[in-house]
Chain A
Amino acid sequence: MAQAGALTPQAMIDSATNAYTKGHYESAIKWYEQVLATGQESAAIYYNLGNAWFKLNEMAQAIYNYEKALLLAPSDEDILFNLKVANSRIVDKIDIVPDLFFERWWKSLYTLFPGDTWAWLSILFTALFLVAVGIFVLSVKSVQKKVGFYSALLFLFLTFFGYAFAYKNHYRQSHHTHGIVFEPAVTVKSSPDENSVDLFVLHEGTKVQLSDSLNSWVKIKIANGSVGWMPSRAIKKF
Chain B
Amino acid sequence: MKRLALLLISALSFIFGINAQEVNFTVSAPEEVEVGQTFRVVFTLNANGENFRGPDFKGFTVVSGPNVSQSSSFQFINGKMHQEYSQSYTYLINASMEGTFEVRPATIVVKGKTYQTQAVRIHVISSGKPKARQSQPSAGSTNRANAGSPTEPIDDVKDIPKDDIFIKAYVSKPSPYVGEQTIVTYKLFTKVPLSNIRINNLGTFPDFWSQDLLKSDKLQQSTVIINGEEYVTAEIKKTSLFGLKPGTVTIPAMEMECTAAMVKKRRRTVTGDPFFDSFFNDAFFNSGYEQVERKIYSNPLKINIKPLPAEGKPAGYANAVGNFTLSAELDRSEVKANDAINLRIKISGSGNLDVIEAPQINFPTEFDTYDPKITSNINTTSSGVSGIKTFEYLLIPRTAGTYTIKPIAFSFFNPATGKYNTLTSPEFTINVAKGEANAQNISYSGVNQQDLKYIGSDIRYIKLPPIALRPVGVLFFGSGIYYGLLITLLVGFAISMLIIKRIQKQRGDVGLMRLRKATGVATKRLKKARTHLNNREENAFYNEISAALWGYIADKFNIPLADLSMENIESKLISRNVNTETIKAFIETLNNCEFARFAPGNKTENMEQVYNQALETISRIERELR
Contact = CB atoms under 8 A, between A and B. Distances in A.
Contacts of A25: 439
Contacts of A57: 437-439, 442
A89 B454 contact: yes
A7 interface: no
Interface string A1-29: 00000000110011001001000010000
B415 to A, nearest CB: 37
Contacts of B453: 88
The range of chain A's interface size is: 35 or more
A42 B467 contact: yes
A126 B491 CA distance: 12
Interface string A179-197: 0000111000000000000
A70 interface: no
Contact of B497 (A41, A120, A123, A137): A137
Contacts of B470: 40-42
B479 to A, nearest CB: 8
Contact of B469 (A9, A166, A173, A184): A9
Main secondary structure of the interface of B (DSSP, over half): loop
A119 interface: yes
A12 to B, nearest CB: 10
Interface stretch (B10-18, B371-379, B482-490): B482-490
A51 B461 contact: yes
B472 interface: yes
Given A89-B444, A134-B496, A56 B477 contact: no
A44 interface: yes
Nearest to A137: B497
A20 B444 CA distance: 24
A173 B475 contact: yes
B465 interface: yes
B472 A39 contact: yes
B78 interface: no
A48 B475 contact: no
B439 A56 contact: yes
Interface in A71-104: 78, 81-82, 85-86, 88-91, 93
Interface in A51-67: 51-52, 54-57
A184 B466 CA distance: 36
Interface in A118-146: 118-120, 122-123, 126-127, 130, 133-134, 137-138
Given A17-B464, A44-B462, 13 more contacts: A10-B467, A41-B469, A42-B468, A45-B469, A90-B447, A116-B477, A118-B477, A119-B482, A134-B500, A169-B477, A173-B475, A174-B475, A184-B401
Interface of B: 364-366, 399-401, 432, 434, 437-439, 442, 444, 447-449, 451, 453-454, 457-473, 475-478, 482, 485-486, 489-490, 493, 496-497, 500-501, 504
21 contacts: A13-B467, A14-B465, A36-B472, A38-B469, A39-B472, A41-B469, A41-B471, A41-B472, A42-B467, A47-B462, A54-B459, A89-B454, A91-B447, A118-B477, A119-B477, A126-B490, A134-B496, A170-B478, A184-B366, A185-B365, A204-B399
